[in-house]
Amino acid sequence: MSLPAAAPPDAVPARERAPAVLLEGLTKRYGDVHAVDRLDLEIRDGEFFTMLGPSGSGKTTTLRLIGGFERPDAGRILLGGDDVAGRPPYERDVNTVFQDYALFPHMTVQENVEYGLRVKGVRRGERKGRAEEALSRVRLAGLGGRKPVQLSGGQRQRVALARALVNDPQVLLLDEPLGALDLKLRQEMQVFLKALQQDLGKTFVYVTHDQEEALAMSDRIAVFNQGGVEQVGTPAEVYERPATEFVADFVGVSNIIERNGRRFTIRPEKIHMLGGDEAPARPSSTERGHVDEVVYLGPVTRYRVRLDGGGTLVVVRQNLESTSEQVRTEQGRAVTLAWAPEDAFTINVPQEEEAQE
C-alpha cells in the first residue's frame, strides 16, 4: 500500500505549515552588551513581518543572525523547520536587501541582477531570462543596459530587490531599505513593496525604526527594546492595545495616566475635548483641565491639556472648519476631556518596577 502524495505547499493551511522563521532562545553578546537576549520569535510563512524598534534595540542584529552574517552565542534559528544557526549565508535560503543598495557600480543593471546566479554557476541563457523576469516584476523592464549611477534612488532600490529575488529565496530580509529615500518616494516604495510581497506570496522580514512605515506595510509587527520583544501583533493590535508603556510611547503618540492605582494609556485621537461645563453625549471617562498648549498642524490641531487632578493629556482634533487663528484662541480655556472606557488600556508594569515598589 503506497502512502498518499504530499499536498502542495499552497494546499496546506498556514497554521499547519512550519514557520518560515523560528527563533528559540537566540542570544548575541558583544562584550558585556546583550544585543539579543534569549529571544523567542515566530514568523509565519508568507507574511510581511516587521521588526520595529529604536537604534540599539536588537532588531538589526536579529536580522543579521537570520541571514548568517552573525553567529549566535546561544539559541536556534530554524528556516522552514531546518536549523541553520551554524551555516554561512550562502547555505541559507534567504537573501538580504540593504539600505545602501550594495550595487556594483561598474556593472550594468542586468549584470547586477545576474550576479548571484553567475556565482551559482547558472547558465548564461537562463541567467538572462531570470534576470529580465525579476526586473519586470520590479517595474524596471528595459533598463537592464544602464549603470546604477544612471538611475534614481527608488530605481536603484528596486534593482537591489530584483537581485535578491532572482534567486527565489524562501525568506527575503530587508534592512531599513527605504531609509535613504525622501518622504514621498519612501511612501511610494512602501505601497510597491507591500503589493510585491502579496503578489509573490513570499515571507518578507523587514527592519525599520519608522513606526508609520511599520503600521502601513506589515501583517504583524514585533516591537523590539533592549535586545528583546515587548509585543508582537497586527498593526491594529500594537497601536490600539499596546501591552507595555514602551510600546505605547514608541508606536505613535500616546498618553499615559495613572488614577486610583491603575496605569493606563489612551491615544490622543480617541479623546473628545468639550467645553468646561459640557457633558459628554454618552457614558465616558472624564477629566477636567485647562488648555496649556496649542499647535496648529494643518489637517489637525494638537492640544496639551493640564489636568486639574494632576498630569497632562495630549488631544488631537481635525480642523474641519477651524483656522489657525481660531484654534489659537483656545489656549488657557477650561475644558472637559472625555473618552470611551474601552479606548483606554491598562499598561503592564515591568517586573523590575514592581520589585522596586
DSSP state of 11: G
Average model confidence (pLDDT) across the chain = 88
- Helix axis angle, 183-200 relative to 153-165, nearest 10°? 20
Q: Examine residue 1 and state whether it is found in any structural domain, yes or no.
A: no
> Are 158 and 104 within one domain?
yes
Structural domain count, the chain: 2
- Are 77 and 66 within 8 A, CB to CB? yes
Tens of pLDDT, residues 14-32:
456 789 999 999 999 999 9
Question: What confidence tier does 4 reach under pLDDT thresholds 50, 70, 90?
Answer: very low
> Are 295 and 268 within one domain?
yes
Q: What is the mean pLDDT of residues 269-287?
A: 87
Residue where a domain terminates, one of 243, 266, 299? 243
Name which of 150-159, 195-204, 308-317, 344-353 the model is least confident about: 344-353
Q: What is the mean pLDDT of residues 171-182?
A: 89
φ/ψ bin of 77: left (φ > 0), alpha (ψ from -120 to 50), beta (otherwise): beta
Please determine, for residue 306, whether its predicted confidence score (pLDDT) is greater than 60: yes
CATH code for the domain of 258: 2.40.50.100
Q: What is the pLDDT of residue 254?
A: 87
Q: Looking at 20-126, which runs of residues are DSSP E strands?
A: 21-30, 33-43, 48-52, 74-79, 82-83, 94-98
> Are 190 and 45 within one domain?
yes
166 Cβ contact list (under 8 Å, min separation 6)? 113, 114, 116, 117, 130, 131, 133, 134
Residue where a domain terminates, one of 191, 219, 243? 243
> Are 235 and 265 within one domain?
no
> Are 185 and 274 within one domain?
no
Q: What is the mean pLDDT of residues 151-180?
A: 90
Tens of pLDDT, residues 106-143:
999 999 999 989 888 899 999 999 999 999 989 899 89
Please determine, for residue 212, whether its predicted confidence score (pLDDT) is greater than 50: yes
Enter the pTM of the model: 0.85
- Classify residue 284 as exposed, middle or buried by CB count within 10 Å of its CB (0-12, 13-18, 19+): middle
Q: Which domain holds residue 258?
A: 253-346
> Are 14 and 59 within one domain?
yes
Question: 84-112 burial, b for 16+ CB within 10 Å, e for fewer?
Answer: bbeeeeeebebbbbbbebebeeeebbbbb
Residue 165 Cα to chain centre, angstroms: 20
Residue where a domain terminates, one of 243, 268, 294? 243
Q: What is the mean pLDDT of residues 238-243?
A: 91
Please determine, for residue 34, whether its predicted confidence score (pLDDT) is greater than 90: yes
- Helix axis angle, 153-165 relative to 124-137, nearest 10°? 130
> Which residues are registered as beta bridge partners of 302?
295, 316
Tens of pLDDT, residues 44-100:
999 999 999 999 999 999 999 999 999 999 999 999 999 999 999 989 999 999 888
Q: In what order do the strands lie in the sheet with 220-225?
A: 94-98, 171-175, 203-208, 48-52, 220-225, 228-233
